[in-house]
Amino acid sequence: MKIGVTGATGQLGRLVVEKLKEKTSAENIVALVRSPQKAIDFGVELREFDYDKPEILAKSLAGIDKLMLISGSEIGKRTAQHANVIEAAKDAGVKLILYTSLLKADTSTLGLAGEHLSTEDALKKSGIPFVLLRNGWYTENYTGSLADVIAMGTLYGSSSDGKISSATREDYAGAAVAVLTTEGHEGKVYELAGDESFTMSEFAAEISRQTDKNIPYVNLPVEEYAQALMKAGMPEAYAQFFAGTHVSTEKGDLFYAGHQLSKLTGKPTTSLSKAVSDALSRIK
Ligand SMILES: NC(=O)c1ccc[n+]([C@@H]2O[C@H](COP(=O)([O-])OP(=O)(O)OC[C@H]3O[C@@H](n4cnc5c(N)ncnc54)[C@H](OP(=O)(O)O)[C@@H]3O)[C@@H](O)[C@H]2O)c1
């Protein structure tokens, strides 16, 4: 049983490969990468894989039984890129595809949902058995900017009291590996999110508690928040996109209470408190 992992040099893909090695022999794992120089220490077979090069994809998928398709990072190009991979998987006779979609992709107001839905649609039309791993937000999306938040003494956003059921990349990788290494998942749609949810005010309170500083959450109108992000150096398109995700947060798009992730892995997802303390230990 050969398992191929795309995006294996990314932050999520690396964790998937590492965790797969704990569950199955390295000989069964193929890292499908566009930047092999980033993967020299992986200890598994590497094959060239660039979503923009349809001519090489089927050959690189030869002999792969299960394919973990990690969504690409180039927003706007992904429908076509993922379609290239699905087409090649059909040609290569892949038996199961896992795709990292978006939490509640069919109802989400996030602008990102469209590309994920079109990929889900391409999978349905392909005839290849598939599993949808609809991943919620990464907790690292928040803890990644902890140093800046502490330096500013304030957490800004536009999410109001929207609840965020995020989980760490490690948690999502664990769920993916559970699905890749056990049977009976064909056709399943897993809505994956953290066991806990928090608001931005609760996130600010947790940072304050762990740093012994008073770091309040200040909710801004979305345009003002986008302007603040631009002033801090974020390119305009990204600032608008990022501020928009806060509006979707307020609408509940990042909230999910179904505990499907921890049911797959058999353990609770990483708590906000642990994620904050881990992030603080990295910046101290
Ligand atoms: N749930 C969330 O909060 C969240 C947040 C951000 C992103 N995402 C999605 O989840 C995916 C994985 O997250 P991540 O943190 O691992 O992202 P990441 O660290 O940016 O990794 C993205 C991976 O995709 C690969 N990739 C990008 N374009 C490609 C192409 N044209 N052909 C082949 N490979 C390509 C990259 O290859 P290189 O190493 O060669 O660049 C990298 O390995 C992202 O790509 C994005 O779709 C989710």
Measuring from atom 27 of ligand 1, which residue has the nearest CA? 72
Model confidence at 209: pLDDT above 80: yes
Q: pTM for the full model? A: 0.98
Pocket lining: 34 vs ligand 1, CB cutoff 6 Å: yes
pLDDT mean over 165-191:
98
Per-residue pLDDT, 43: 97
Question: What ranges make up the beta strands (E) of 77-192?
Answer: 96-102, 130-135, 155-157, 189-192
The answer on pLDDT for 183 being more than 90 is yes
100 lines ligand 1 (CB under 6 A): yes
Does 99 sit in the ligand 1 pocket, CB within 6 Å? no
Neighbours of 102 (CB within 10 A): 25
- Ligand 1 within 6 A of 77 CB? no
pLDDT value of residue 19: 98
pLDDT at 284: 73
The CB of 138 under 6 Å from ligand 1? The reply is yes
Which residue's alpha carbon is nearest to atom 46 within ligand 1?
73
Domains parsed from the chain with CATH numbers: 3-135 (3.40.50.720), 143-147+153-162+195-256+267-283 (3.90.25.10)
Express each pLDDT in 9-32 by its tens digit. Answer: 999 999 999 999 999 999 999 999
